[in-house]
Amino acid sequence: MASDREEKKELGITVSKEENFSEWFSQVVFKAELADIRYGLQGFVVHREWGMLILRRIYEMLEKKVEKDGHLPVLFPIAIPKHFFEKEKGHVEGFAPEVFWVTKAGDDDLAEPFALRPTSETAFYSMYSLWIRSWKDLPFKRYQSRICVYRYEHTTRPFLRGREFLFFETHDAFRTHEEALEQIKRDMHILKEVAEKKLFIPFIFFRRPKWDKFAGAEDTYAADTVMPDGKVSQIGSTHDLGQRFSKAFDVTFKDKDGKDKYAYITCFGPGIWRMMAALIAIHGDDKGLVLPSSVAPYHAVIIPIYFKGKEEIVDEVATSLKGKLESAGFRVILDDDKEKTAGYKFYKWELYGVPVRIEIGPKDVERNTVVLVRRADGDRVVVSQDEVEKALKEQLLRNDEVIKERSARYHVIHEAKTLEEVKELAVKGGFIKAPFCGMGEEAESCADRLQEMTTLKVRGVPLDSEEKPSEDDRCIICGKKAKVIVYLAKAY
């Protein structure tokens, strides 16, 4: 058998997350069988087994939340006719550089090109105009899940930016604007329930500046989290589309007063890929993934410790233990591969981030005990086999607590009053809050200048903050009296 050092080299991460985050992230994605970029087309990755098991659980949580909120599932075609895009000017201008167009079928030119879905507003609302007739049909709330969208990104990386990536979206129509705005609040709550409370990803919800809103939206609200390299990643967004798309696609209803009116529309996109990236990056360590119990494919791995002549009795107890835990509702795998050493198995399942390792050897069989080891901090406890169900539940809860406690370590917020202070803080990463001259078109030139000088972007105004600039605060770029305190950051 291979030596302990050789086994660790074969499975382990060879760089430190803190010293080389980019390479660390790439190694975890590949070695933990989350994705493989060797498909042959840039930006098109193969989602591997372990990654799909995790992603499926994220999807399931979101599906349950939106269905509880009154949404029903649908599935739309991947193909979007060109004339759909041309109906909403702001939308087509915003997405045109990213669209993949299909123009031929075999040797024949198509009568009308169609796009590979970059997002689905135009597809949904073309049908909403047929499905919605009366105020009694409203609110009309639908979603589609476990789909891919296609965007011509120049820089690509698994789970951060791709030309084909996993997607989730809701599209809702309402009788009044007030109802639409209430839905946006519920969208934010759903993202908080999943990303923050289940995945332990800290984030801030921002109202984006007017120049950075979703193409075709009245307002965009987006959630940003800080990654270990100091850049922020948008893990979800919800949009107030007003009546722009309903007017473009004739989404009307007959109201109580008998008059035809345009619906108010919202759309919500939890970032499946970006949440996966944050899950990997924020919680992982130099051994690999560290997974919360909510998304871990297995809560625990049972590893028998074999000694010559004692294999059968250890296997018997380990198999019985697996059945007992599964009957209690735990997701458990038994690694009884006798061709691999216990050390190899330890490295493997640490790399995969399984929350708890259960060790059982001949002496444990004699003593009627097992050893439980938490992935997040390596803490070990010895318990009676009769108490293993209770102990595993406790260790899973503690493992989640450790993950949650550590999750805020990158989520830093600096404060600056001048451009010089901003430049000094920019190298530290995270958010920088600073006075700015506005959030509308009048401030866009200042945002452009800021990005040119520092590569920082204006992320917006936090929705949970009422902080206002003081009378003495001046815009860090133009020097005019500040109207808002905005958050700045480098972004993916």
Reported as a single tens digit per residue, the pLDDT across 426-470 is 999 999 999 999 999 999 999 999 999 999 999 999 998 889 999
The span from the CA of 37 to the CA of 81, in Å, is 30
CB 354 within 8 A of CB 291: yes
Crossing angle (nearest 10°) for helices 272-283 and 21-31: 110
Helix, strand or coil, per DSSP, at residue 16: coil
Residues 213, 216, 220, 225, Cα dihedral to 10°: -60
| Short-list 449, 462, 441, 461, CA closest to 419 | 449
What is the mean predicted confidence (pLDDT) over 481-485?
A: 97
List the single range of 63-77, 78-92, 379-393 with lowest mean pLDDT: 78-92
At 477 the pLDDT is 98
The two three-digit tokens of residue 385, written as one number: 């086999």
- pLDDT(108) > 90: yes
451: tokens are 């990005």
- Amino acid 82: pLDDT: 94
Integer Cα distance of 62 and 64 in angstroms: 5
Q: Report the 3 state secondary structure along 276-315.
A: HHHHHHHHCECCECCCCCCCCCCCEEEEECCCCCCHHHHH
Q: Are 72 and 141 in contact (CB under 8 A)?
A: yes
Residue 1 has pLDDT above 80, yes or no: no
Q: If you average pLDDT over residues 360-372, what whole number do you get? A: 97
The structure's pTM equals 0.96
DSSP 335: -
How many other CB atoms are there within 10 angstroms of residue 21's CB atom? 17
The Cα 283–Cα 404 span in angstroms is 9
CA atoms within 13 A on the CB side of 260: 8
Supply the pLDDT for residue 461. Answer: 98
Q: Amino acid identity, residue 209?
A: P
pLDDT tier for residue 8 given thresholds of 50, 70 and 90: low
Average pLDDT estimate for 402-425: 97
CA dihedral for 371, 279, 34, 63, sign (positive or negative): positive
**Beta-sheet strands, E only, within 182-291:** 204-207, 219-226, 232-240, 252-254, 260-262, 264-270
What digits encode the pLDDT tens for the residues 133-184?
999 999 999 999 999 999 999 999 999 999 999 999 999 999 999 999 999 9
Q: Give the burial class of 44: count Cβ atoms within 10 A of its Cβ; 0-12 exposed, 13-18 middle, 19 or more buried.
A: middle
Domains parsed from the chain with CATH numbers: 21-283 (3.30.930.10), 300-407 (3.40.50.800), 413-489 (3.30.110.30)
Of 113 and 95, more confident: 113
| Whole-number pLDDT of residue 89 | 75
